[in-house]
Structure 1
Amino acid sequence: MEDSGVPGHIDLLPMVNKAGCECLNESDDHPFTQALNSAGGYLESDTDEQLILYLSFNQAVKLHSMRIKAPADCGPKTIKVFINQPHTIDFDTAESANPIQEITLSPKDLEGELITLKYVKLQNVMNFTIFIKDNQTEAETTQISYLQIIGSPVQTTKMADFKRVAGKKGESH
């Protein structure tokens, strides 16, 4: 697990179900997957500055914060955060729906500063939607070099993992 820089929390990227992720309005040359690793490359919007990022986790998680690295001129400015949507929302829904949190980012935030999320409202998250409404300078497209989601897994108990102590199956004590 990569160190998140936040005590008690980890980088949740290993828990992201990449097959369940989707990005609306991504450029074919610069897809969403390039922003999910720090190896280089970037995500860029296609026809305008708006993007919808849908991340699906392979288990329930608690979200604490995130980091976004992006160019100061065309990085995201206003973002809305939604959780546990049954499917990827469209742009009209993202504009009109009430988010869990709305955040206005400064150019300094886009240098990888910690962006704190409303931890109390993000306790049992299976999927996380980020709607990027606009960018810093009203540039034609929006770019994100790296996106890091920080939090912790929700500890759940799988009943199938329990072993019988005594007696036979179906027998009561």
Structure 2
Amino acid sequence: MSKTIEITSSEQFSDILSKSRIVVADFYANWCGPCKQIAPVYEQLSMSLSRPNIATFVKVNTEGDKAKDVAQAYAVTHLPTFILFRDGKIAEKVKGADPQKLKSLIEKLSNDIETAGEGGSSGGGGMTWLGADLPRGYSDISDVIDVKGLELLNADDTEFSVRTLFNRPKPSSLEKSDSEQKDWVESDTDEQLLLFMPFNSSVKLHTIQITSLPPKAGEDDDEDEIPMRPKTIKLFTNRPHNLGFDEAEDIQPTQEIEIGEDDWNANGTANVGLRFVRFQNITSVILFVVDGDGSSEKVRLDRVRLIGESGEKRDLGKLEKIGDGE
């Protein structure tokens, strides 16, 4: 496993942020007693979770002439401070030498590391494939999804996994490949799907990108068996768990959207714009595929991407200043 990297300059730190999708930084000082006490815990977590170009653990000595510029850039005023970066941006921050809070943060981070590692190892490099351009000023925040809490109802789960929807590489249907590995999901008994997505931190959602790449019908194909793209979807926010299909039909959604044929681009992706004011401080989203764009009994999804802004961890404000060196 990779060892913790000691930061000696702001240029070095910027380079690491650009190359590693997840970066955890320990801001410390040699005179700080609590920093020394928690250092072995941090080293242990680094040794077990570091992954080249996926998850990198660094230490920033705030006393160093050059490294202290990094601390100033991220407004570090308490020691130790641990900052988690996703795709070069601050995702979460923990102040104080509390091993349990640090371990809890890293354990939740392990979901992201596992997902990123699976995606990176199956082709497409370290970057996440997007089926459409990002709206200006927003980014892909799909990595805030708590993958262990994902639930997809009415999926043909004998062949498909819900985590497939958030794979990082380009869908296999867009690649010229003879691979028989299926990297999409289809509905089972009818065209409806209920996807529950809980988040590790509160977010602001601007857009949902849905990619659907059903095969074209051949002369001998039964069109009723060929899956459809979704047409009508309903979105529900801040639910503690998934809904049932009857409940999803009856209650008022946060937003209902109809995807037209012209909304799908050449990558088979629809940019589903949201009423942004209704999607602030969101901790979970349910995507309900009500029906498809044809007469088949199946709907297909290849990828789902969440576009917006990630926020601070919901319970960070309650952290006690334990072991702060002031």
Q: Which among 10, 17, 36 is matched to residue 139 of structure 2?
A: 10
- CA shift, 1:80, in A, is 0.3
Per the alignment, in what secondary structure is the counterpart of residue 134 of structure 1?
A: strand
Identity %, equivalent residues: 31
| Equivalent residue, structure 2, for 1:86 | 240
Q: Which amino acid letter does the alignment assign opposite residue 19 of structure 1?
A: K
Q: Report deviation, 1:90.
A: 0.3
- Per the TM alignment, residue 146 of structure 1 is displaced from its structure 2 partner at its CA by 1.0
Shift of 1:13: 1.4
Aligned to 2:297: 140
The amino acid of 2:191's aligned partner reads: E
Query: In angstroms, what is the RMSD of aligned CA positions?
Result: 2.0
For 1:158, the equivalent position in structure 2 comes to 317
- Confirm or deny that 1:119 pairs with 2:276: yes
- 1:65 aligned residue: 207
The reply on whether 1:56 has 2:198 as its aligned counterpart is yes
Alignment gaps of 5+ in structure 1: 166-173
1:98 to 240, 249, 252: 252
Matched, 1:35 2:189: no
Specify the code of the residue in structure 2 equivalent to 1:104: E
Query: 2:134 touches 2:307 (CA, 8 Å); kept in 1?
Result: no
Give a deviation string over 1:84-107, Cα, whole Å, max 9, x none: 112110000100110011000123
Name the structure 2 match of 1:26: 155
2:178 pairs with 1:44: no
Q: Report the structure number with the largest CA radius of gyration.
A: 2
Aligned residue pair count: 165
Greater helix share, 1 or 2? 2
Larger CA deviation: 90-99 vs 2-11? 2-11
1: distance between equivalents of 2:304 and 2:197?
Answer: 11
Assess, with a 3 A threshold, how the Cα gap between structure 1 residues 152 and 161 changes in structure 2: closer, same or farther. farther
Per-residue deviation at 1:7?
Answer: 2.5
Structure 2: gaps (5+ residues): 1-86, 88-127, 172-182, 215-226
Q: Secondary structure at the match of 2:148?
A: helix
> Which residue identity is paired with 1:109?
D
The yes-or-no answer on 1:76 pairing with 2:205 is no
Tell me the amino acid that sits aligned with residue 62 of structure 1.
K
Instruction: Indicate conservation of the 8 Å contact 1:31/1:44, yes or no.
Output: no
Alignment TM-score, normalising by the size of structure 1: 0.86
Tell me if the contact between 1:68 and 1:109 (Cα under 8 Å) persists in the aligned partners. Answer: no
Deviation at 1:108, TM superposition (A): 3.3
* Highest RCO, 1 vs 2 (Cα 8 Å, sep ≥ 6): 1
Shift in CA distance, 155/38, structure 1 to aligned 2, threshold 3 Å: closer
The farther-off stretch of 111-120 and 92-101 is 111-120
Higher percent of residues as strand = 1
Encode CA deviations 1:67-97: one digit per residue, 9 max, x unaligned: 1111366010000000011211000010011
Rounded to whole Å, the distance in 2 between the matches of 1:96 and 1:153 is 30
- Per the TM alignment, residue 159 of structure 1 is displaced from its structure 2 partner at its CA by 4.5
Helix, strand or coil at the partner of 2:233: strand
Quick one: distance in 2 between partners of 1:87 and 1:114? Answer: 25
Structure-2 separation of matches of 1:101 and 1:137: 22
What CA distance in whole angstroms lies between the structure 2 residues aligned with 1:81 and 1:89? 11
